[in-house]
């Protein structure tokens, strides 16, 4: 993951005006150059709101603005921090880091999350990368700016490991000709000491995810790979792919950046180029496959984009996996094809036709 704090930043300290509850005028603004910079409000209602933009995230100067907004009541969550509307909402080439203040006394034993209201009014759950409890600072990475506020999860939700019930030796076959398998790997490039390898293969290519399980119940992403574009992508540090718990019906979004990679099948990192992976998790409607009808589902949609060292986009791949609780993958979308489960081996037990 590109460490934003390690990128040379041109520091811009801004003073917020004291008025303005959601009006059209921004409380603060600053123009950030392609070399990168930090936008920070130092006083007023939005004091300590900060946006860090790494070099390469933009190709031309961008005006960043912030204004006070209103939290939106959302089932299963309680707002504990002020809402702020950050703009522009156009996508960046690399994730930017946003830091939001919250009174330390409002942080409880409940899980702290960030809620994001998109331009279409949808509420997405974003998982913080860092929570500085004593300072009351919650930070997360995002590919675009929007209205955000800190909240806490009121209910435990559902353990994500109940959906991601994948074990070494599991294998699934889908009616569209795609197959998926889970193996334990010990000698893959740049993955040490081992990783679960979720491999997807079809007539038009192959791709997959390197995963690990954390004691907390989270599923962690180590990297992705593909035999198209620039190939194998390697994370410099593991990142949470799924939280320990998810709220049914609540979309979850996250972004990842890779700044070194190894060509597919090679053994050494090139250290050039950048790739991003955007992940959106949601709960779709009932699904019927040749094996069974499923109601308790979690869909994870992935978009992987690769860039050259000069910022030119090289390749973009989108795929999605729909998981059934306690069973695993039941629908796979990749390489322009979508299909339901035909047969599988789950925990050594054959299922399907």
Per-residue model confidence (pLDDT) at position 224: 80
* pLDDT tens-place string over residues 131-160: 999 999 999 988 889 999 999 988 777 888
pTM (predicted TM-score): 0.77
Over residues 253-261, the mean pLDDT reads 71
- Residues 294 and 242: beta-carbon distance below 8 Å: no
Per-residue model confidence (pLDDT) at position 230: 54
Per-residue model confidence (pLDDT) at position 274: 72
Report residue 33's pLDDT band, with 50, 70 and 90 as the boundaries.
very high
Query: What residue segments make up the domains of the chain, in order of their start?
Result: 4-153, 160-352
* pLDDT tens-place string over residues 42-80: 888 899 999 999 888 888 999 999 999 999 888 888 999
Q: How many CA atoms lie within 13 A of 103 on its CB side?
A: 7
Give the least confident one: 2-6, 185-189, 261-265.
2-6
Bridge partners, 64 (sequence order): 30
* Between residues 311 and 82, the one the model is more confident about: 82
202, pLDDT greater than 70: yes
* pLDDT tens-place string over residues 222-238: 878 777 655 566 665 67
Over residues 161-166, the mean pLDDT reads 85
Q: How far is CA 69 from CA 22, 27, 81, 148, 238, in A?
A: 5, 11, 11, 9, 33
Q: How far is CA 146 from CA 90, 120, 151, in A?
A: 9, 11, 16
Give the least confident one: 10-24, 112-126, 135-149.
10-24
- Give the CA-trace dihedral at 277, 234, 128, 158, to 10 degrees: 80
> How far is CA 72 from its chain centroid?
22
Give the least confident one: 53-62, 154-163, 278-287, 329-338.
154-163
Largest CA distance in the chain: 66
Over residues 276-281, the mean pLDDT reads 81
Share above pLDDT 90 across residues of the chain, in percent, rounded to a whole number: 33
178, pLDDT greater than 70: yes
32, pLDDT greater than 60: yes
Angle at 97 between CA 5 and CA 310, to 5 degrees: 75
What is the spatial distance between Cα 98 and Cα 142, in angstroms, rounded to a whole number?
7
- Residues 253 and 241: beta-carbon distance below 8 Å: no
Rg for the chain, CA atoms, rounded = 21
* Between residues 346 and 225, the one the model is more confident about: 346
What is the pLDDT of the chain when averaged over all its residues? 81
User: Cis ω on the peptide bond leading into residue 193 (within 30° of 0)?
Assistant: yes
Task: Domain 4-153: give its CATH architecture.
Answer: Sandwich (2.60)
- Residues 41 and 29: beta-carbon distance below 8 Å: no
């Amino acid at each position: 993951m590109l460490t934003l704090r390690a990128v040379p930043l041109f520091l811009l300290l801004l003073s917020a005006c004291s008025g303005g509850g959601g009006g059209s005028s921004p409380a603060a603004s600053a123009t950030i150059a392609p070399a990168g910079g930090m936008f920070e409000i130092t006083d007023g209602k939005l004091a300590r709101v900060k946006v860090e933009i790494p070099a390469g995230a933009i190709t031309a100067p961008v005006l960043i603005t912030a204004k006070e907004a209103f939290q939106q009541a959302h089932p299963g969550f309680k707002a504990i921090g002020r809402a702020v509307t950050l703009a522009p909402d156009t996508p960046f080439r690399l994730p930017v880091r946003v830091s939001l203040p919250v009174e330390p006394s409002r942080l409880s034993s409940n899980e702290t999350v960030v809620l994001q209201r998109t331009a279409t009014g949808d509420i997405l759950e974003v998982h913080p990368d860092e929570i500085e409890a004593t300072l009351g600072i919650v930070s997360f990475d995002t590919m675009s700016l929007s209205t955000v506020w800190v909240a806490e999860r009121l209910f435990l939700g559902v353990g994500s490991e109940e959906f991601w019930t994948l074990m070494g030796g599991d294998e699934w076959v889908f009616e569209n000709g795609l197959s998926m398998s889970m193996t334990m790997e010990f000698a893959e490039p740049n993955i040490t000491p081992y990783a679960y390898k979720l491999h997807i293969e079809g007539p038009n290519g192959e791709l997959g995810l390197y995963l690990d399980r954390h004691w907390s119940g989270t599923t962690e992403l180590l990297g992705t790979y593909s035999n198209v574009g620039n190939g194998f992508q390697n994370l410099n540090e593991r990142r949470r792919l799924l939280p320990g718990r998810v709220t049914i019906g609540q979309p979850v979004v996250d972004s990842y950046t890779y700044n070194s990679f190894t060509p597919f099948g090679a053994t050494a990192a090139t250290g050039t180029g950048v790739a991003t992976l955007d992940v959106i998790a949601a709960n779709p409607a009932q699904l019927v496959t040749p094996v069974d009808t499923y109601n308790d589902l979690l869909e994870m949609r992935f978009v992987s984009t690769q860039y050259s060292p000069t910022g030119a986009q090289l390749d973009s791949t989108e795929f999605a996996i729909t998981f059934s609780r306690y069973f695993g993958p039941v629908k796979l979308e990749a390489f322009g094809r979508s299909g339901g489960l035909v047969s599988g081996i789950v925990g050594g037990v054959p299922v399907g036709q």
